Amino acid sequence: MLLPITGIEVIGVVGSLYIPLLIASAVLVVAVPRASGWHPAVPILLLITALTIPTAVVLVPFIALNWMWRRIASRVAILWLAALCVGLLAQATVVVLAPDRRDMDVSVTSMGTWVRALLNSVFSLVPGLSIGDVSLTEFTVLRPFPYLAWILVGLLAIAGMLGVAHGRNSLSTSITAQLALLALLISLIPSLSGTFSYRYFVAPVTLLVIALLILTDKRLGQQSLIKVTIGSVLLGMLWLTSFPASDLRSTPAPAWSVELGRAGALCQSGPGSQVNMTLTPVWPPKNAGLTELNQPRFICVSQSDS
Which is more confident, 138 or 44? 44
pLDDT at res. 221: 76
Between residues 47 and 195, the one the model is more confident about: 47
Selection from 95-99, 183-187, 246-250 with the highest mean pLDDT: 183-187
What does the pLDDT average to over 113-135?
Answer: 74
Domain ranges of the chain: 4-242, 251-299
Weakest-pLDDT range from 65-79, 97-111, 230-244: 97-111
The residue among 235 and 134 whose pLDDT is bigger is 235
Note the pLDDT of residue 136. 47
Residue 58: the pLDDT is 94
Distance in angstroms (rounded) separating the CA atoms of residues 58 and 56:
5
> What's the pLDDT at 83?
94
Which of 267-282 are b and which e, b meaning 16 or more Cβ less than 10 Å from the residue's Cβ?
beeeeeeebebbeebe
Q: Is a pLDDT exceeding 90 seen at residue 245?
A: no
Residue of 209, 212, 204 whose CA lies nearest to 187: 204
Q: For 207-234, write each residue's pLDDT tens digit.
A: 999 999 888 888 877 888 888 888 888 8
| Mean pLDDT within 128-146 | 56
Mean pLDDT over residues 198-210, rounded? 89
Instruction: Categorize the per-residue pLDDT at 303 as very low, low, confident or very high, splitting at 50, 70 and 90.
Output: low
- Name the pLDDT band for 81 (thresholds 50, 70, 90): very high
Residue 266's CB is within 10 A of a number of other CB atoms, namely: 15
pLDDT of residue 90: 92
What average pLDDT does this structure show over 193-212?
Answer: 84
